[in-house]
Structure 1
Amino acid sequence: MKITVIGCGRWGSLITWYLDSIGHQVTLYGRDNSKHMQRFLKERKNDLLAIPDSVSLTTDLSCVKEAEVIVISINSQGLQALMDELKQYELMDKILVLCMKGIEISTGRRLSQIANDNLDFSNNVAVWIGPGHVQEFYHGIPNCMVIDSNDCKTKELLVNEFSSELIRFYYGQDLIGNEIGAAAKNVIGIAAGMLDGLALSTLKGALMSRGTREVARLIKAMGGNELSAYGLCHLGDYEATVFSKYSHNRQFGEAFIKNEPFDALAEGYYTVKAMLNLGKNYGVDLPICKAVYDILYKEKNAKEVLNGLFSRTLKNEF
């Protein structure tokens, strides 16, 4: 299968390496001013992995014309701008696979909605989500992930073509729930990092439990299956997001509390704005998201906000 991967950051480069390793013909695209692509062109590696010679590297976006599948791994807030760039190529009969986790702040659109809004009907869109870190996959540590799409044939094709002993893919059954759950888990990851920074890590169990219920309520209100919050897209991704030393969102939350510099992408920083907008639009209370937002954007005292979160009015658990 001929595949173009758009995005040469840590996840895009891992996807490129992985798809090449299971026998696909892969081209990795990055902008010519990207420091990541400049290094790949010079050394064919970054700080996490090496790209094999069998992979083509390019800064010419027209490479998408030759691909059967286009895998996208960029900042989720930049997806609409990328779709605008892709319009000139009049894509037909392609499969777009979105490997980011986020919600567009300005519109509340899920990423699959953004892609579909900008594509001819002959194309199909899927999402690739779930737990896992570059460092672990690259060193042969397996995990389970999810591929979901509104088109069953697309979903079946991708699961069959992308599965291996390293990544076992499950068929997603709820695109709304899977996308919202995947995006929201990054916000929970930031909250977990904040607890770490305050030496309150013991509260992560409560955070995981209540966070899942919070997201499940939103998924249900949006027309999805609330059980999706308990699957690989959300609860199943908590180990990699809430506890892992590799989690950018958890690292960011801890660094923020400790007033330490952090320059890596933490999608949850942007997603929390979109989550609160969705909560308001669908009439769903999102106390954990609001707490994270208040700390990040309103500069409220983190210890007071988080203590208040876990000492809310007593109520039944379910």
Structure 2
Amino acid sequence: MTKIAILGAGSWGTALANVVAENNQDVRLWTHNPAQAREISDQHTNQKYLPTAILNDNLMATDNMALAVSDVDIVLSVVPTKAVRQVAHQLADVLVKQNHRVILAHATKGLEPVTFKRISEMLSEEVPAQYRTALAMLSGPSHAEDVIKHDLTAVSIASDDPNAAKLMQSVFANDVFRPYTNHDLLGSELASALKNIIAIGSGALIGLGYGANAQAALLTRGLVEMRALGQAMGAKPETFLGLAGIGDLIVTGMSPNSRNYRAGRELGSGKSLAEVENTMGMVIEGVSTTKAVYEFSVQHQVDMPITKAIYQVLYEQLPLQNAITQLMQRNLRSED
């Protein structure tokens, strides 16, 4: 039996922990909120994040990180980007005291504000190398609201260490949740962050009243931009054609369960960014990611017109319709 600690009891952390509990693995779900830990352990619910779900009886939660990670093989961080460093620092203190090494993984899709660092870079800076055997990421088309209902789901587990990826694969795999492995952690992290930008644009089109043609065009050309920047930054282009890339892009760019899509739809309906952020109640990762990726595109001299247009809408108050007209009137060119 593999022991795993999952840090973060939001919707995604809880859903992943529930998958592992149903697989009869030893899983500990950590939350900073004692009341939430008691609710999950005693009532087998998480009303705030998954209000209709009944969690597996084997799933236990705790607000004690030392207890959560004691003797585990894997620590999977599923906290928002803005909390990654704080939680990782707390984890490092515990691992040092326990003199304990783990596979350190995450399932967070974003880039750090200001520094624009990937999640694995943040984790490796906070947790000393002697306390982690490998770095990994779980990503792909996988909304928590569908996973908890046992919708058929396939995900990608990326790591430079194939043994670490295979161990995580075995922990999560069952008849309705199928993990694949890949060896491109960089590409997987970039893809998972970049698709949030395109999802905002996709939602905005629907909010404006456009249809499936416009949405399909945006997602397809958005994928071209994602892959081009990924290649320029050292990622494998094929990663963007897999679950971590196009798979995650499709579900995030078309599903009302996606907060980035919903944010874009609200923008398209006429709300300001401030109004959307105030009413969403959850982090909209794509907003800060847009700024980071726009700057990456300039730095690496990669033409990313869709990303630039969304950046102008979010940060320079360019009207959405003007941004669309600007994109459609660009010089004609070949598709490749």
After TM superposition, the structure 1 = structure 2 runs for residues 62-101 of structure 1, keeping only pairs within 5 Å, are 62=66, 63-89=68-94, 90=96, 92-101=100-109
Instruction: Choose from 139, 146, 162 the match for 1:152.
Output: 162
Instruction: Choose from 259, 270, 293 the match for 1:248.
Output: 259
Match of 1:44 in 2: 44
After TM superposition, the structure 1 = structure 2 runs for residues 86-165 of structure 1, keeping only pairs within 5 Å, are 86-89=91-94, 90=96, 92-122=100-130, 123=132, 124-165=134-175
C-alpha distance after superposition, 1:255-309 (max 9, x if no partner): 1232263223321122112212222222222222222222122222111112212
| CA shift for structure 1 position 10 | 0.7
Q: What SS does the corresponding residue of 1:209 show, helix, strand or coil?
A: helix
TM-score calculated relative to the size of structure 2: 0.88
Amino acid corresponding to residue 299 of structure 1 in structure 2 = Q
Match of 2:322 in 1: 304
Q: From the superposition, tell whether residues 228 and 188 of structure 1 become closer, same or farther in structure 2 (CA, over 3 Å).
A: same
Match of 2:195 in 1: 185
C-alpha distance after superposition, 1:178-231 (max 9, x if no partner): 111111111111110000111123311111111111011111111111222121
Q: 5+ unaligned residues in a row in structure 1: which ranges?
A: none
Determine the C-alpha separation between the residues in 1 that align with 2:38 and 2:321: 42
Determine the C-alpha separation between the residues in 1 that align with 2:280 and 2:59: 31
Match of 2:3 in 1: 2
Aligned length: 317
Q: What SS does the corresponding residue of 1:8 show, helix, strand or coil?
A: coil
Match of 1:206 in 2: 217
- 8 Å Cα contact 1:77-1:102 kept in structure 2: no
Q: What SS does the corresponding residue of 1:66 show, helix, strand or coil?
A: coil
| CA shift for structure 1 position 39 | 5.0
| CA shift for structure 1 position 233 | 1.0
Determine the C-alpha separation between the residues in 2 that align with 1:253 and 1:128: 25
C-alpha distance after superposition, 1:94-148 (max 9, x if no partner): 0122011111232222111221223333412110000022222222221211001
- 8 Å Cα contact 1:10-1:48 kept in structure 2: no
- Decide which moves more: 181-190 or 54-63: 54-63
Determine the C-alpha separation between the residues in 2 that align with 1:39 and 1:293: 41
C-alpha distance after superposition, 1:134-168 (max 9, x if no partner): 22222222121100111121112111232111121
- 1:53 correspondence with 2:57: yes
Q: What SS does the corresponding residue of 1:182 show, helix, strand or coil?
A: helix
Amino acid corresponding to residue 137 of structure 1 in structure 2 = V
| CA shift for structure 1 position 50 | 2.4
Match of 1:23 in 2: 24
Q: What SS does the corresponding residue of 1:148 show, helix, strand or coil?
A: strand
Instruction: Choose from 238, 242, 248 the match for 1:227.
Output: 238
Determine the C-alpha separation between the residues in 1 that align with 2:149 and 2:57: 19
Q: From the superposition, tell whether residues 29 and 250 of structure 1 become closer, same or farther in structure 2 (CA, over 3 Å).
A: same
| CA shift for structure 1 position 67 | 2.1
- 8 Å Cα contact 1:8-1:28 kept in structure 2: yes
Could you say what the CA RMSD is over the residues aligned between the two structures, in angstroms?
A: 1.9
TM-score calculated relative to the size of structure 1: 0.93
Q: From the superposition, tell whether residues 308 and 146 of structure 1 become closer, same or farther in structure 2 (CA, over 3 Å).
A: same
| CA shift for structure 1 position 43 | 3.9
C-alpha distance after superposition, 1:64-112 (max 9, x if no partner): 2332211111111321222222221116320122011111232222111
Amino acid corresponding to residue 69 of structure 1 in structure 2 = I
- 8 Å Cα contact 2:161-2:183 kept in structure 1: no
